[in-house]
Amino acid sequence: MKVKISADSTCDLSAELVEKYDVGITPLSVIMGQRSGRDGVDVFPEDIYAYVAASGTLPKTSAVNTADYYRQFRQWTELGYGVVHFSLGGKFSSSCQNARLAAQALDNVYVVDSCNLSTGQGLLVLMGAELARQGKDPAEICSLCQNAAPRVEASFLIDTMDHLYKGGRCSGLAAFGANLLNIKPCIEVRDGAMEPSRRYRGRIEKVIVQYVRDRLQGRTDIDTHRIFVTHSSFPEEGVKEVIAAIRELQPGFEEILETSAGSVVTTHCGPNTLGVLFLRRE
């Protein structure tokens, strides 16, 4: 059976990777006042920054509904494909539940709860695409990727806590204190939810390499097939420093992929956020 790999737009894969692996993308919605658009189709990170600057509030994000998933999946099943869809983590959004409801109404459609977001989700998408190229059937791809989900290590270093505060993820006092003291929090995805981890103090351009060092140095449990450097409008020189640090700390990586966060992830993390995301070994 032919296999179609599908994913929510929150996987933050570049257009080049989407084309290379023939991934079908289902966009979540972003609502900015009276305007509503699709992530990566009608709404982009630049729109998020402009809206927040003008309104002082964050856009709202909305899950894909069951009917849209059904239409998306059905167009592929009617062409003879089995479908494996990779959803935004079920604890972040109802998208996963909606995708599973749509899948139940069709044959040979399987849904993987990535338990993650951004390229933490994207890592599983590419794993699924590679398994499909190896000739695995949809059920086996779904099982293997779902079992791999707990091995995804996703974290981000946040420059400013303004978006976290506006989104209700931290108090105004915590955001004020962090900004005043120039504290940069590291946010990790743990058990399918975002949790605060270490804190760094100083300009983000100065502490970003230390963050990478803390994630990678001396590790022997990392799957060195690929690593993502995913960011929201991070300075180019800083990204180059991060990639250089990865090559120094873990020279065995076969692929170091740089991608930009989409509008949904940017809404919640804000500008100048950067993360390194990879899989641990089995």
Q: Which has the closest alpha carbon to 125: 135, 133, 134, 114?
A: 114
Q: Which two tokens stand for residue 56?
A: 């002082």
Architecture of the domain delimited by 152-280:
2-Layer Sandwich (3.30)
d(CA 39, CA 109): 23
d(CA 230, CA 7): 17
* pLDDT per position as a tens digit, 81-125: 999 999 999 998 999 999 999 999 999 999 999 999 999 999 999
* pLDDT per position as a tens digit, 142-177: 999 999 999 999 999 988 756 554 454 443 334 434
Rounded (5°) CA angle 92-52-118: 30
Say how far residue 219 (Cα) sits from the centre of its chain.
Answer: 23
Q: Is the pLDDT of residue 178 over 80?
A: no
Cα torsion 48, 91, 184, 150 to 10°: value is: -120
DSSP state of 93: -
Q: Where are the domains of the chain?
A: 2-149, 152-280
CA distances from 33 to 55, 118, 122, 145, 162 (A): 9, 24, 29, 37, 19
d(CA 197, CA 268): 17
Architecture of the domain delimited by 2-149:
3-Layer(aba) Sandwich (3.40)
Average pLDDT, the chain: 91
SS3 letters across 175-195: HHHHHHCCEEEEEEEECCEEE
* pLDDT per position as a tens digit, 54-76: 998 889 999 999 999 999 999 99
Asked if 99 and 64 count as a contact pair (C-beta separation under 8 A), the reply is yes
Q: Which has the closest alpha carbon to 60: 41, 36, 83?
A: 36
